[in-house]
Amino acid sequence: MRFYLVWVSSPQYKSSSPLTYGFNGQLKNGSIVEVPFRNKKIIGLVDSETAKPDFATKEISNLVINETLPESTLKLFEWLANYYPASSAAHLQLFLPTNLLKLVPSTTNIKNNNDLIDLKLPKLTNEQSQVINEIRATSGRTTMLHGDTSSGKTRVYIELIYEALQKNRSAIVLTPEIGLTPQLIKVLEESFPSRVVLIHSSLSDKIRRDNWLKILNSTRPIIVVGPRSALFSPLKNIGIIVMDEAHEATYKQEQAPYYQSSRVAAKLSEINKASLIFGTATPLISDYYILKSKDLLTARMIKSAVSGKNDDRAIIETVKMTERDSFKKATWLSDPLLNSISQSLSDKQQSIVFLNRRGTAQVILCQKCGWQALCPNCDTTLTYHGDTHKMICHSCNFNQTVPSLCPVCKSPDIIFRGAGTKAITEELKKIFPTAKISRFDKDNKKLDSLEKNYDDLLSGKVDIIVGTQIITKGLDLPNLSTVGIVMADSGLYFPDYMAEERTFQNLMQVIGRVARGHLPGRVIVQTYHPESLAIKAAINKNFQEFYDQQLIERKKFRFPPFVYLLKISCKRATQKSSETACKQLINDIDKLGLKVSINGPAPAFHEKQNGRFVWQLIIKSTDRSNLLKIIESLPSNFSYDIDPANLL
């Protein structure tokens, strides 16, 4: 009997250490096995062989597959466990499909009958060629590809991936949203037939498991495409990692182990001695600062990759929302915006209308007594959804039908204020009844999602596209001529140090959907605060001015990139008990004698969640190891997020 340390994939296992099992046979490190855990059979990963323990052990049931995880994957697993504290099960579930034990494997080999073909793509522009040469010169290092929208970043990716494949090395291409994968897959498969493998959570269990096995068993270089989870694919000999739209908040995992994809990608590239490309038109301020401070390459592209008479900047008009004379035709859509949409329809061209709020109305209240509809679980405003006539909480998904009478004074005078994407869509349908209008946001059903309707958007079958920030990313629609931004400053009202940066990014991205070399473009920016630096800098494409000003503020108030952050949350039955627990925790942290500063306790942005009250502490330190020590000492009834993407 031999004995092995095995990492187990069960949410019931809360430890960060492997368990010891026996087995009548020899197993390699990285073997995937089935093990008994409590009363179940679960998946496990062999860490190493160990000496016979002085306690009784259970036996490994069987070896699940013959192939072991690549050495680079095992190194990443080991690093992740040390860098992002969590249970070993939480880490392991990132690396192994949970259904490996459930489904009968099908054919998983990737076809080997197609050699690399010569790329038949548009000729590289001078700017693209220059950037590629710069990246070649720093092979195996990190590069920020700071390319304006329409400058042709994808074309650069393809050229660099082609060079990696020629050297018999594989590639990972990350995208922030599953909805953006169809267009990326299409262009990659045209260039590299039978070498692209898609992996993400919306695939069926069987397809996802089979694609994972394809990656593991591949004997030739391939390209793995997917969201952040693609980083944990069992891919061998990685030569390049591309993180497209690298600024997006969705690259941050919002549950244990709370990893930031850019940091994981950097470690994976280091392990494989691979090139890492952060591609974005609006770099994260922290990433940009860190790369500059480490003297790593920031490759700049500013020119449109599509040459021709229509590659000039869009005509941009700002409409101040307090000037109601500009809103004679509709409540939320200005006359200049409606006129531009009308012109696009007449020219058989497309329009985008962007509003980063879902639903029909943001506030439901009684005009007589002032009652307002709030979530009983979260105490936050319920959003009215006109298509279902329901009030929905966007935090916990509580929902109920709108009452016909005020529950306080019994008045029927219930009104709806504010607007979301559903209200904008209905308003547009009334004004343009013959237009084909589609809405894209988190309320979409799967068949209505951007991913499922991408071909219709690309072909021009949709006249007006309404949506939240999902429509700001990566869309290259040749028939698009109008972009309308309903309330450009809506993101500025959040009490978070990232609010201005997110607003700047969203505006830059959505403005960049037009004037990409296909058609002349018009942009109408509606705002209450045209004087905002974030709004002005986005309109003028002035990243440097915005970046410099943000650095001054972040240094003054001690926010990243000048410190590391840890958000600790406490959820209790009452406000008082939550506040008291946080204060006691501050005393416990002080006793550790660490060089940190603590902000709070204060109520969380959504203070009431599922009937309980949440208070939080924000801890700052210039030494990240101090934050890890605090996490190690946390009582089990506190939660944490290290390197949080926001403080809400």
Q: Place 310 in a pLDDT band, splitting at 50, 70 and 90.
A: very low
pLDDT at 642 over 80: yes
Q: Place 228 in a pLDDT band, splitting at 50, 70 and 90.
A: very high
Q: What is the CA radius of gyration of the chain?
A: 26
β-bridge pairing 315-320 and 522-527: parallel
Question: Please, are residues 481 and 344 in contact by the beta-carbon 8 Å criterion?
Answer: yes
pLDDT in tens, 391-415: 887 666 788 898 889 989 998 888 7
pLDDT at 139 over 80: no
Quote the pLDDT of residue 554. 93
Q: Which long-range contacts (CB under 8 A, 24 or more apart) does 396-402 make?
A: 396/609, 396/610, 402/364, 402/373
Dihedral over alpha carbons 397, 199, 271, 26 (to 10 degrees): 100
Q: Place 282 in a pLDDT band, splitting at 50, 70 and 90.
A: very high
Rounded to an integer, the average pLDDT of 603-608 is 84
Burial class (CB in 10 A: 0-12, 13-18, 19+), 635: exposed
Q: Place 186 in a pLDDT band, splitting at 50, 70 and 90.
A: confident
Quote the pLDDT of residue 113. 46
Quote the pLDDT of residue 514. 86
Side-chain half-sphere of 219: how many Cα atoms within 13 Å? Answer: 5
Highest mean pLDDT out of 159-163, 197-201, 437-441, 466-470: 159-163
Could you tell me how many helices (H) and strands (E) the chain has, helices first? 16, 28
Rounded to an integer, the average pLDDT of 200-223 is 90
pLDDT in tens, 503-550: 999 999 999 888 877 888 999 999 988 999 999 999 998 999 999 999
Element containing residue 340 per DSSP (H, E): helix 335-346
Q: What is the pTM of this model?
A: 0.86
Task: Average the pLDDT over each of 230-234, 466-470, 500-504, 552-556 and give the range with the smallest value.
Answer: 466-470
Determine what percent of the chain is predicted with pLDDT higher than 70: 94
**Rounded to whole angstroms, how far apart are CA atoms 361 and 359?**
6
**Rounded to whole angstroms, how far apart are CA atoms 181 and 174?**
9
pLDDT in tens, 233-242: 999 999 999 9
| Cα 418 to Cα 212, 269, 382, 444, distances in angstroms | 45, 46, 12, 20
Burial class (CB in 10 A: 0-12, 13-18, 19+), 67: middle
Residues 530, 532, 535: CA angle, nearest 5 degrees: 75
Running DSSP on this structure, what letter comes out for residue 362? S
Rounded to an integer, the average pLDDT of 114-134 is 81
The amino acid sitting at 2 is R
Quote the pLDDT of residue 378. 59
Question: Please, are residues 466 and 496 in contact by the beta-carbon 8 Å criterion?
Answer: no
pLDDT in tens, 283-302: 999 999 999 999 888 999 98
Tell me what the pLDDT averaged over the chain comes to.
88
Quote the pLDDT of residue 517. 72
In Å, the largest CA–CA distance within the chain is 84
**Rounded to whole angstroms, how far apart are CA atoms 161 and 228?**
18
Look at 113 and 442; give whichever has higher pLDDT: 442
The encoded tokens of residue 499 equal 């609010």
**Rounded to whole angstroms, how far apart are CA atoms 500 and 521?**
25
pLDDT at 117 over 80: no
**Rounded to whole angstroms, how far apart are CA atoms 26 and 13?**
26
